[in-house]
Amino acid sequence: MASKSLKLLWALSFSVILTLFSMQGRAAEPAADSAAAPAVEAGAEPAHEAGKLDISHEIFSHIQDAHDWHLFSINENPVTIPLPVIIYSPTNGLSVFMSSKFEHGHEAYNGYQLNSEGKVEALDGSKIYDISLTKNVVAMFLAVILIFIIFLNVSKKYQKNGASKAPSGLQNAVEACVVFIRDEVAVPNLGKDYKRFMPLILTIFFFIWIANMLGLIPGGANLTGNIAVTCCLAIIAFVVMLFTSKKHFWGHLFNPPGMPTAVKFILVPIELISLIIKPIALMIRLFANMLAGHIVIACFVLLIFIFANLNVWIGGGFSVISVGLSVFSMLIELLVTAIQAYIFANLTAIFIGQMIEDHSHHAGEEGFDHTDTERELSL
């Protein structure tokens, strides 16, 4: 029953997306055909030269966060879903209103306005905390709901069927991933203590994977390609690392055994930096990979309009190549979504594994460290 409703959900979302996509095409087509009218998509800053596409603006409006969910534009009028703006200001207190009040950046409201980057700022320039439900936040909530639907259903199935019955349907798919994470990520890196960290690593993996995949859907938000999201995930991983670290790790860090004192003065800062670099590496890797993928796909699609600006026929002809290229990079991205989720989970496991290492590894310390860093580099 669960799988049936899920199928319905998929079908519904796909049909909605397809409709949106075709409408987007139709909306953009006249702009390209006339060649005189600018194909303006994001409404935040419609001031370009007539007849010229602002490519970087187009791309960045696709990959950046926004206060409204832009669907498509009809004759320069953007059609968007307004999202709630929540602002806490130490001077003015909390204010909540819909982003439609800004009229796409043309109006100020309640003492706030949208700046040229699409961010909310106070008119008087005072410090504010913007915790609005932006496009990315809403997309993240959708991802969270999807995760809950999937995993709570699967969990229910496990509880209903017990351990002796063979898995079926969605349970089967999830089980393969869970077993993979347990046997390929957690157990080799965390050793016998892996059970403690399984929930964290599984959650990281599926959270990133599902968020990645939702970002691939045309019209979806570039959630994991946003540095705030990856930064938060990396910090959570880092905090877990610090809280689970053992004395052995710190002892090695501040007093590397078997080293002359002079070398220690060089080594300890390097080790400290490498410790800080770990979460930064996690953050940048996911962010850059997902961002690059989105940019590439957007570029391939926009190539059509660049060529159409030169000549309608070239644009039409190139659309075939462009669609082929973007389908290709879409497929690669589909792979990358899983790979990046796996890498994030795997690196988290490796880092935690280094922190909780016991004296039992003492003899192979150098070799162990070495292989780990190598593995890290290859990722």
Partner 1 sequence: MGLLTPDFGLFFWTLIAFLLVLFVLGKFAWKPILNSLSEREDSITKSLATAEQARKEMASLKSENETLLQKAREERSLMLKEAKDNAEKLISDATAKAKSEYERIVADAQAAISQQKQAALTDVKNQVGNLVIEVAEKVLRKQLSNKGEQEALIKDLVDNVKLN
| Contact footprint for partner 1 (CB under 8 A) | 60, 63-65, 86, 117, 119, 129-134, 136-137, 140-141, 143-144, 147-148, 151-152, 154-155, 158-159, 162-164, 174-175, 178-179, 182, 195, 198-200, 202-203, 206-207, 226-229, 231-233, 236, 291
**Least distance in angstroms from the C-beta of 307 to partner 1:** 27
> How are strands ordered across the β-sheet holding 93-98?
93-98, 84-89, 129-130
**Cα separation of 353 and 204, whole Å?**
16
**Least distance in angstroms from the C-beta of 198 to partner 1:** 6
**Least distance in angstroms from the C-beta of 92 to partner 1:** 17
Closer residue to partner 1 (CB): 119 or 248: 119
3-state secondary structure of 94: strand
**Cα separation of 301 and 299, whole Å?**
5
Of 79, 61, 63, the closest CA to residue 71 belongs to: 79
Closer residue to partner 1 (CB): 156 or 359: 156
Residue 236 phi/psi, 5-degree rounding, is: -60, -45
Closer residue to partner 1 (CB): 287 or 307: 287
Helices and strands, counts by H and E, the chain: 11, 7
**Cα separation of 305 and 244, whole Å?**
52
For residue 78, list its beta bridge partners: 73
**Least distance in angstroms from the C-beta of 186 to partner 1:** 10
Contacts of residue 236, Cβ cutoff 8 Å, sequence gap at least 6: none
**Cα separation of 215 and 225, whole Å?**
9
Closer residue to partner 1 (CB): 132 or 319: 132
For residue 98, list its beta bridge partners: 84
**Least distance in angstroms from the C-beta of 227 to partner 1:** 5
**Least distance in angstroms from the C-beta of 220 to partner 1:** 15
Closer residue to partner 1 (CB): 64 or 309: 64
**Least distance in angstroms from the C-beta of 175 to partner 1:** 7
Contacts of residue 348, Cβ cutoff 8 Å, sequence gap at least 6: 200, 201, 204, 237, 240, 241, 282
Residue 311 per-residue DSSP state? -
> Exposed, middle or buried, 247 (CB in 10 Å: 0-12/13-18/19+)?
exposed
Residue 107 per-residue DSSP state? -
Closer residue to partner 1 (CB): 81 or 144: 144
Residue 166 per-residue DSSP state? P
**Least distance in angstroms from the C-beta of 60 to partner 1:** 8
Residue with tokens 């008119």: 123
Closer residue to partner 1 (CB): 41 or 65: 65
**Least distance in angstroms from the C-beta of 249 to partner 1:** 24
Closer residue to partner 1 (CB): 64 or 73: 64
Closer residue to partner 1 (CB): 33 or 193: 193
**Least distance in angstroms from the C-beta of 46 to partner 1:** 19
50-to-28, 81, 105 alpha-carbon distances in Å: 15, 27, 20
- Per-residue HEC secondary structure of 26-82 comes to HHHHHHHHHCCCCCCCCCCCCCCCCCCCCHHHHHHHHHCCCCEEEEEEECCEEEEEE
Closer residue to partner 1 (CB): 58 or 357: 58
